[in-house]
Structure 1
Amino acid sequence: MSIINRVVLVAGASKGIGKAIALQAGKEGAYVIVNYNSDAQGADKVVTEIGTGRALAVQADISKPADIDRLINTSIARFSKIDVVIPNAAYVPLSDVETATEDQFDMAFAVNVKGPWLLVQKSLPYMSSGSAVIFISSDLTDSSTLPPQLFLYISTKGALNTMARSLAQTLANRGIRVNAVSPGPTETDSFFKSNTDGSSRMLAELSPFKRLGKPDEAAAAVSLLWRPESSWISGQIVKVNGAAT
């Protein structure tokens, strides 16, 4: 079985893991909504690679409810339904507990927690039994060593994991599955902005496989969860970190 002709909405799909997820969905025959906030060129490249007849780029800042309304309305006008929702967009402030600002706190929870909730809530009227929600978390939520400059980011991902487990139970009576994929250190622009060359090398050495993960590997885990064959997997946080924990 496959997701041919199903509609997959990926928030934050112009680069990194989101881009890899969108391309994987297109490769498997889905129609893909490529959401982006500021990288229009990157989103357009993803659409071109999938094919303009099967993909649509839509600008929206998922921290803003009005933008989410426009994203959903534009998607439905083009594809009439939504089968898979993947709230991948994230904000990663680099401040510890003493230097973080209230604005950073508010933005982190607006993009990383409120945005995914609203995206799911506003998609639900257009989803049917067999649909899926897949959150993108972080394996730092279970790590014993937490980078102090990422405490806000990690806090939001912890909240997202709880949301995934709660919504999985809430939406089960509608036949909608909810899971989260939790990548470890992965070669993305966001990762390299958060780490020095030295810390990147150290994290690679700490891996049992002696390397960082790749966006395509996170996308492969996501693709497992959207397939109909995974109908009994719900409420799970699936780590994609090369046996790191």
Structure 2
Amino acid sequence: MSTPNTPDTPNTRTAVVTGGSRGIGRRVVTRLAADGLAVVVGYAGNQVEAEAAVKEVEAIGGRAIAVRADVADEHAMAALFDTAEQTFGGVDVVVHAAARMPLAPLAELDLADLDDLHRTNIRGTFVVDQQAVRRLRPGGALVNFSSSVVGLAFPNYSAYAASKGAVEAMTLVLAREMRGRDVTVNVVAPGPTATDLFLGANDEQRVAQLAAQPPLQRLGTPDDIAEVVAFLASPAGHWVNGQVLRANGGII
């Protein structure tokens, strides 16, 4: 775990971002920091990238720490949130971006991969959300991640899409359970986005096909998705609640 580069103040808004060392989560970290939030970068194992994310935040004058924690381990996640509160004084935004994405036809997917995916994508979301709703201060926001593939039904994505369908269901229920708390709960469901995870899971031909599908005729970028998250996390987005935002450039 790293330490913050400057002393904190009581009025700092703080974000916890799981999966914050790479991809969309990494861009969310720097985008929220640019809005003045202190950020806890949650990561599973890549300490080098997590510390690099912290340095990016510090380079723009922000504050961040990196904390290693398995999102599906309730004790580890409780400790991460404890650290956020002890370091920055509280938690105002939680962005749960950590996920697995093994791809194969349903008939061929190894069930061990299915179990690992469910542990991270479903149990992990449940565990992170439990901590979020226990800790978020009034005016706060919880943002989970789904995927537009839930509706697009691409071949080879059955397990991943099923897990993200579960994320959408629990998030929409949770938004209603938070009545009276002044905390918003939403899901961002990106379409094909140019991350290492996506590019590593698809060959060049498939990437080109997916990039041609949106009317905007390109893949999404981590910046595109981070802007949506930043809006939902901001006071300007606080009237958006209990929604699935399909940020995919118009694929239908």
The one-letter code of the counterpart of 2:32 is A
Q: How far 1:74 moved relative to its partner?
A: 2.0
Q: How far 1:53 moved relative to its partner?
A: 6.4
Match of 2:8 in 1: none
Equivalent positions of 1:206-245 (< 5 A) are 206-245=213-252
Residue 178 of structure 1 pairs with residue 185 of structure 2: yes
The one-letter code of the counterpart of 1:229 is A
Judge conservation of contact 1:140–1:184 (CA < 8 Å) in 2. Answer: yes
Judge conservation of contact 1:63–1:107 (CA < 8 Å) in 2. Answer: no
Equivalent positions of 1:1-245 (< 5 A) are 5-51=12-58, 54-143=63-152, 145-148=153-156, 150-245=157-252
Identity of aligned residues (%): 32
Deviations, residues 62-108 of structure 1 (Å, cap 9, x unaligned): 12223212212222221221111111000111232222233222211
Find the aligned partners of 1:220 and 1:36 in 2 and give their Cα distance. 21
Deviations, residues 11-66 of structure 1 (Å, cap 9, x unaligned): 00111100010000000100000011121111111111111861000111112223
**SS, match of residue 245 in structure 2:** strand
Q: TM-score, normalised by structure 1?
A: 0.93
**SS, match of residue 139 in structure 2:** coil
The one-letter code of the counterpart of 1:193 is G
Q: How far 1:211 moved relative to its partner?
A: 0.9
Judge conservation of contact 1:186–1:212 (CA < 8 Å) in 2. Answer: yes
Q: TM-score, normalised by structure 2?
A: 0.91
Structure 1 stretches of at least 4 aligned residues deviating more than 4 Å after TM superposition: none
Find the aligned partners of 1:8 and 1:157 in 2 and give their Cα distance. 22
Find the aligned partners of 2:73 and 2:49 in 1 and give their Cα distance. 21
The one-letter code of the counterpart of 2:44 is N
Find the aligned partners of 2:158 and 2:210 in 1 and give their Cα distance. 18
Find the aligned partners of 2:110 and 2:91 in 1 and give their Cα distance. 36
Which is worse superposed, 169-178 or 26-35? 169-178
**Unaligned stretches of 5+ in structure 1?**
none
Deviations, residues 131-180 of structure 1 (Å, cap 9, x unaligned): 1100111001111x4222x2111101011111111111111221111001
**SS, match of residue 157 in structure 1:** helix
Match of 2:5 in 1: none
**Unaligned stretches of 5+ in structure 2?**
1-10
Find the aligned partners of 2:138 and 2:78 in 1 and give their Cα distance. 22
Task: Say what the alpha-carbon RMSD is for the aligned residues.
Answer: 1.5
Find the aligned partners of 1:11 and 1:172 in 2 and give their Cα distance. 25
Judge conservation of contact 2:15–2:37 (CA < 8 Å) in 1. Answer: yes
**SS, match of residue 180 in structure 2:** helix
Find the aligned partners of 2:174 and 2:78 in 1 and give their Cα distance. 21
Find the aligned partners of 2:111 and 2:81 in 1 and give their Cα distance. 29
* Number of corresponding residues: 240
